[in-house]
Amino acid sequence: MHRFLVVIEKADHNYSAYSPDLPGCVATGATREETEKNMHEAIEMHVQGLREDNLPVPESRSFAEYVAVA
């Protein structure tokens, strides 16, 4: 099983998402929930494509952290 960090950003009229460990793997949606679902499907398809092309599935190396400032 692989786990990948997904970054979801609010745009003007929708949401977008990407995974830093999977360049080119992106998704959008009208809501955050839809974007999460679409990104999950995009990652599954991306990984499947890598396997079909006999390419390695990258290890997840990204992480996220919130920083609080006054």
Task: Please report whether residue 62 resides in a domain.
Answer: no
Tokens, residue 67: 């920083």
Residue 36 has a pLDDT of: 97
CATH number of the domain that 35 lies in? Answer: 3.30.160.250
Report yes or no on 1 lying in a domain.
Answer: no
Q: Per the structure block, which two tokens stand in for 43?
A: 């990652």
Q: What is the mean pLDDT of each successive set of 10 residues along the chain, which is 70 residues long?
A: 95 96 97 98 97 96 94
- Please check whether residue 65 lies inside any domain of the structure: no
6 CB-near residues (< 8 Å, 6+ apart): 17, 18, 19, 36, 39, 43
| Confidence at residue 43, expressed as pLDDT on a 0 to 100 scale | 98
Pick from 8, 42, 48: which is nearest to 24 by CA? 42
Q: Which two tokens stand for residue 42?
A: 């995009």
Range of the domain at 45: 7-52
pLDDT of residue 7: 97
Number of domains in the chain: 1
The separation between CA 47 and the C-alpha centre of its own chain, rounded to angstroms, equals: 12
Q: Residue 14 falls within a domain, yes or no?
A: yes
